[in-house]
Chain A
Amino acid sequence: MGITFWMVLMPILAGLLVLLIPRTGEVAHRLLALLGALAALVLACVAWARFDYHATGFQQVSSLHWFTLPSLWHGASGSGLGGLEIGLAFGVDGLSLGLVLLTGVIGLLAVLAARPAERTREYFFWQSCVVAGLYGVFSALNVFTFAVALELTLFAMFFLLYLFGQGRRQFAAMQFLLYRGLATVPLLAAFVGLAYGAVGGYAATAGAITDHSLTLDVPTLLHVLPSASAQMLPASIRHVLFLCLLLAVFVEEAFVPFHTWLPTAHEAADPATSMLLGGLLTKTGAYALLRFGVGMMPGEVRHFGTLLAVFGVINILYGAFAAWAQADWRRLIAFSSISHMGLVLLGIAAFNAAGLQGAMFLLVSSGLLTALLFFLVGAIAERTSTSRIAELGGLSRRMPVLSGLLLVAALGSLGLPLTSGFVSEVQAFIGSFGSFPAVSFVALLGVILSAVYLLQAMQRTTFGPLLPAYGRLYDASPGESILAGLLVAMVLFIGIYPKVIGDLFGLTVNALLGMGG
């Protein structure tokens, strides 16, 4: 078994061990979850250290065979050489590794940030499950593994929301479950269609594949489908499959008009859960679009390019205007994140090196910044008992460190240079101006609006006279400072020296654009 397998397994093992500790062993629960997340992060870093920047395809592959479905059963016995292999497989390429590292960082920090008031055993069990599921999603090398991992995040996150949320937590959790649960239906439909579509396409790839059977193997599908689907499946079916995938992506990414679950969930979630939800879980849809859409159906992405770009701009503007109108920091961040994901969609629609690389950068940047924002707003709300903007004011006076960190997070989020936000946005815009200049001009409005809504919220939160009620608040604890400082350091590092993850993503971008390694 390779390191990618253990990387996914570590948080699950930790979660299971947590269940074995008695209910009262709260310190042990936290410590085990922490160890699991730390071990996974270390393994992810090992995978990074061993990563070969000159190789093509997936590395650190580890697979676990479960059973084989005979070809007689699934009917796609076009050449009838073998059965359908079902099992787990993990591995990383540049895109995967970038997101796996992001999972490692935010997963670890979320464990550190977690403050469940009671029932720590269940909390850390479900939290570990979410983290493991996310590792699985971003490193899955077959479609079955991807679906299983995605379902794991779905249920685990549901319990985190349902049991440990606040306010309308049950409503939020149900909405989350229904939306994302229903999204798996079109996703699976698209997967099955792709797998069957690939069978007929082996002949087209001139002997590269010897085993002409039905497969769910992602590398094989990536190899076969871009050329095969164009020849073997009728255009109408390909379009339907792509639209199925797109529908799933829209729900998972909380794109307008399928977004209502996200602000509600963030309003109900505790800060650590919000970090996982906003920092990682809302990146799975975009990852699926890049991996399965751009990777396996490039023709359809181009065909629907204008549609994607227009939807991207709608999301940028809708998210930005809605964020402007929000009275609560957490809803504001949620809509801000929707706006950023709109730019991801625009970058992908552009379908060129800058656009795709910008989209990938944005996933990481938005992940870090969203997690940072939710952590800081959570820290403030813990002191003031509110995250409503109108009830805050003048916090700089009593909390200069927390206010300063919040300002850095806001500035990163509005795309200030030397933060990861800028280098991501500028690439996405270079890409989109290359393909859709008119749409991109409209999208630039988002750059202005993000400054408006974030700085307006800052003005009302940390600037101005201190409200009397907050005269005795204390500033960030050393632990909080270090945790937020780590995220800030990463945001600045990527902003100042983007080459480090740029080289990773560049590999996948080149592969997606067919330029070779």
Chain B
Amino acid sequence: MKTTYLDFEQPIAELEAKIESLTEMTESGVDVSGEVTQLRKKSAALSKSIYSKLNAWQISQVARHPQRPYTLDIIAALFTEFEELHGDRAYADDPAIVGGMARFEGAPVMVIGHQKGRDTKERQYRNFGMPRPEGYRKALRLMRLAEKFQVPVLTFIDTPGAYPGIDAEERGQSEAIARNLYVMAELKTPIICTVVGEGGSGGALAIGVGDVVQMLQYATYSVISPEGCASILWKDAGKASMAAEALSITAAKLKPLGLVDQVVPEPLGGAHRDLDMAMENLRQSLRGALSLVGESSLPQLLNRRYERLMSYGKFKESRRA
């Protein structure tokens, strides 16, 4: 598949186009392989220099890259025997969240994640990865199933946010999200959450409470989208890049705040540029997280999960009222 380049990657795109046309020449009998090698080096160096100083807004472009691996890609790469399970048993099946049993390195697990679409039709079908209440209730049902059969839950987060629609409100979007937060806080089985793309607000957190929370290097996690924040606080959605910076939405910013345990490194240029490497890194971090939670008894685990939730927040304590 041809790589799609983001705006700030245009210099790389131009070099890559040149390399491609030269490669075609080589195929037609003219030997320019020397130049191609030169250009490849140049392109790699350019990527490195651009990616070494990405700002928050550019990182959110990478997190939303149309070729970014989605939950079903991750399942295909890292899991076997995926048995997808559908529906909330009350209203409908929501294609914006997928889930089911699978095996990770041979062991049964429950996998749940947001799912975006690749082409226009699928994007619409998946509602751009924006779940409705039935999506969160499906996730909840599957988590309860995992608890019952004592298998760990692995969630993959990648959503612009919960769907802001009339029907979603009518069916209790708020309650669906709230219920998940409540249940995940006390679910009697390990939960490992990975933000793989966009961690969009409450819609992300609704499958994001767990024992280990990790983020891919170029994923973002935010209380509100940079555009939404800009339009409220700056009264101008065009100030999204300033909002992205101010909101501290990148893995590098969130780890020191103690909100993310681990950052999973991505290949140069983002996960889509070298899917194999990206998936291998993710596999290793998931393996590490699973073995970490496996070391504790369930009461210990739940206790630590609770203490961790209680530790969230920064404030000062004054002696006087």
Same complex: no
Chain B residues near A (Cβ < 8 Å): none
